[in-house]
């Protein structure tokens, strides 16, 4: 039995299905036909400012409630969308939330951190750590909570366990209902759960992942999650992945992403952010240029949300002000 059968419990948190909208002006600007490009609006998932983590959190929180958890513990960067949405999910479900964030208390409160505070989460600053060290810091926090009588449930970085990725296997089914002729869905690869769920439903040939540099072994991370989700084994080399949008690293602003932000804004009034969705559109643009995404087929850009992160990204905020056209009165 796969993890999707019966055994799973879902906590209702989001608004489904999310819209699939045409983007004809953006399509033409990219060199596609006007009817070729559609945007899957997973920024409109409803809870806590929206975004892709809501799909994962429905299943992660369902499992936490089934285990009798009283407190959700998770990790991320200071501007983590996943941390913000875990805070919102905890508030909605009456669970305490502790966010173990990389960085230090003087990280200026902006973007997602503003919402973390409003949603009532506690924050533990873990210092300059990532990967296994950040996960270990979360385990120590959970142990301390246990000693004080709480029942913590530790949710991994980005909610990317097989349980969380199941939410994106469901998104794949939703997409097939909305667009049965879907050729390629373009999605950012961060902690890997979103791509893994999509690949599980749609197969590796229909999912183009744009790596944003969040994990060390993106292909292995995705294939491992798919195997954990349904038992299906894919070779990492069978995935369609682009690594050309990472630039100087996960949180760094790339020229391509910045250009994508203005392109989406000026053709469709669509708000992207620099770390994930800007890279997804930049990756799609590069894919059209090199022919790996072609006109005459249905392409879907997965808008995974993250807008608060734009306002927490100093370099992107500064560049957007340079882009502002100031007219004389």
Ligand X SMILES: *Cc1c(COP(=O)(O)O)cnc(C)c1O
Binding site for ligand X (CB under 6 A): 51-53, 81-82, 158, 160, 188-195, 276-277, 304-306
Number of residue whose CB is nearest ligand X: 306
Q: Which is nearer to ligand X, 145 or 285 (CB)?
A: 285
Total number of residues shown for the chain: 329
Which residues contact residue 43 at a Cβ distance below 8 angstroms, ignoring those fewer than 6 apart? 50, 51, 271, 277, 303, 304, 305, 306, 307
Phi-psi region of 215 (alpha: psi -120 to 50; beta: other; left: phi over 0): beta
Q: Output 23 or 189, the one with its CB closest to ligand X.
A: 189
**Is the Cβ of residue 134 or residue 194 nearer to ligand X in the bound state?**
194
Q: How far apart are CA 304 and CA 45, in angstroms?
A: 9
Strands, DSSP E only, in 240-288?
Answer: 240-242
CB-nearer residue toward ligand X: 40 or 53:
53
Query: What token pair was written down for 202?
Result: 């749609």
Cβ 158 to ligand X shortest distance, Å: 4
Phi-psi region of 99 (alpha: psi -120 to 50; beta: other; left: phi over 0): beta
CA atoms within 13 A on the CB side of 194: 28
- Active-site residue (options: 80, 160, 191, 257): 80
Residue 105, SS3 per DSSP: coil
CB of 295 to ligand X, least distance (A): 26
Rounded Cα distance between 277 and 73, Å, is 26
Active site residue 80: yes
Task: Report the alpha-carbon distance of residue 157 to residue 163 in Å, rounded.
Answer: 13
> Which residue, 42 or 268, is less far from ligand X as judged by CB?
42
CA dihedral 159, 192, 300, 45 (to 10 degrees): 10
Closer of 62 and 76 to ligand X (Cβ): 76
Smallest distance, Å, CB 197 to ligand X?
8
Q: Is the Cβ–Cβ distance between 199 and 83 less than 8 Å?
A: no
Please give the sequence-ordered ranges of beta strands (E in DSSP) within 95-143, or none if there are none: 96-101, 122-125
Catalytic site residues? 80
């Amino acid at each position: 039995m796969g993890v999707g059968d019966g055994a799973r419990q879902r906590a209702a948190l989001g608004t489904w299905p999310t819209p699939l909208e045409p983007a004809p002006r953006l399509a033409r600007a990219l060199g596609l036909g006007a009817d070729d490009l559609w945007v899957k609006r997973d920024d409109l998932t409803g809870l806590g400012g929206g975004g892709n983590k809501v799909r994962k959190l429905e299943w992660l929180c369902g499992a936490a409630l089934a285990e009798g958890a009283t407190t959700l513990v998770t990790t991320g960067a200071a501007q983590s969308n996943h941390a913000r949405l875990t805070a919102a999910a905890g508030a909605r479900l009456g669970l305490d939330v502790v966010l173990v964030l990389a960085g230090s208390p003087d990280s200026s409160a902006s973007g997602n951190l503003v919402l973390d505070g409003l949603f009532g989460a506690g924050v533990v600053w873990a210092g300059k750590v990532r990967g296994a060290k950040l996960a270990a810091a979360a385990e120590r926090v959970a142990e301390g909570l246990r000693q004080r009588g709480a029942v913590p449930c530790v949710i991994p970085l980005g909610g990317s366990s097989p349980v969380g990725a199941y939410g994106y296997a469901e998104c794949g089914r939703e997409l097939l209902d909305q667009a049965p002729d879907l050729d390629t869905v373009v999605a950012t690869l961060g902690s890997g759960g979103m791509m893994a769920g999509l690949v599980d439903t749609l197969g590796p040939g229909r999912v183009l992942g744009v790596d944003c540099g969040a994990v060390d072994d993106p292909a292995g991370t995705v294939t491992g999650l798919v195997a954990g989700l349904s038992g299906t084994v894919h070779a990492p080399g069978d995935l369609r992945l682009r690594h050309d949008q990472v630039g100087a690293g996960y949180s760094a602003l790339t020229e391509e992403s910045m250009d994508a932000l203005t392109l989406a804004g000026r053709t469709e009034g669509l708000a992207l952010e620099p770390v994930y969705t800007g890279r997804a559109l930049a990756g799609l643009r590069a894919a059209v240029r090199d022919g790996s995404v072609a006109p005459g087929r249905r392409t879907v850009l997965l808008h995974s949300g993250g807008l608060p992160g734009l306002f927490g990204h100093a370099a992107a905020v500064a560049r957007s002000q340079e882009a502002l056209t100031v007219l004389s009165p």
